């Protein structure tokens, strides 16, 4: 760290869902180049935007501001999905996301891999994993992390047996 925490010149408050009751940030991850901040959690959207449980903000280094550039709602259901863990690939092209199953049907994938296009500012789902095929024995994937060579992803979670 350069300087000390007492010398920070600004703090940016992000309100991912607009401040609705029950919204929670569970994870944040800076991209490897430091130009983007991914935020995951449980955020309620409006009727026009829908829920956006994964949000990508671009960081403006000159004025220290963050601007929302991309978002996704992995499960599509309006009240059940949560993003618990995220990890960028070393090149910043992919974002691995671990999350929670809904407590009732329809079941969603607990792990999703997105490709992030910095030119178009889009998240494109390229892979997903639901190892239990819809069973409630897997409750969530709480940890995801890339290997240092970018060839492997570790996924860990909580099983309900």
Measured distance CA(122)–CA(110) in Å, rounded:
21
Query: According to the model, what pLDDT value does residue 11 have?
Result: 53
**pLDDT tier at 7, thresholds 50, 70, 90:** very low
Query: What is the b/e burial string over 29-59, where b = at least 16 CB atoms within 10 angstroms of the residue's CB?
Result: bebeeeebbbbbbbbbbeeeeebbbbbbbbb
* 137 compared with 97, residue with greater pLDDT: 97
**pLDDT tier at 79, thresholds 50, 70, 90:** very low
- Residue 6, classified by CB atoms within 10 Å of its CB into exposed (0-12), middle (13-18) or buried (19+), is exposed
Measured distance CA(105)–CA(49) in Å, rounded:
23
Helix (H) or strand (E) holding 80: none
Residues 65-89 have a mean pLDDT of 74
Does 15 score more than 50 pLDDT? yes
Does 116 score more than 90 pLDDT? yes
Ranking 20-29, 51-60, 128-137 by mean pLDDT, the lowest is: 128-137
Residues 6+ apart with CB under 8 A from 8: none
pTM of the model: 0.77
Long-range contacts of 43-46, Cβ-Cβ distance < 8 Å, separation of 24 or more: 43/16, 43/17, 44/17, 44/18, 44/20, 44/78, 45/17, 45/18, 45/73, 46/18
């Amino acid at each position: 760290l350069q300087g000390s925490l007492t010398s920070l010149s600004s703090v940016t408050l992000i309100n991912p869902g607009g401040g609705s009751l029950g919204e929670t940030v569970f994870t944040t991850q800076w991209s490897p180049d430091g130009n983007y901040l991914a935020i995951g959690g449980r955020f309620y959207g409006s009727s026009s935007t829908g829920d956006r449980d994964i949000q990508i903000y671009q960081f403006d280094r000159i004025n220290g501001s963050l601007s929302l550039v991309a978002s996704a709602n992995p499960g599509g259901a309006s009240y059940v999905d949560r993003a618990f863990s995220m990890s960028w690939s070393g090149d910043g092209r992919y974002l691995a996301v671990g999350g929670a199953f809904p407590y009732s049907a329809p079941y969603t994938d607990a792990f999703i891999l997105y490709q992030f296009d910095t030119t178009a500012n889009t998240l494109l789902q390229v892979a997903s994993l639901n190892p239990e095929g819809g069973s409630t024995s897997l409750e969530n994937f709480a940890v995801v992390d890339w290997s240092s060579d970018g060839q492997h992803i570790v996924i860990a979670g909580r099983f309900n047996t």
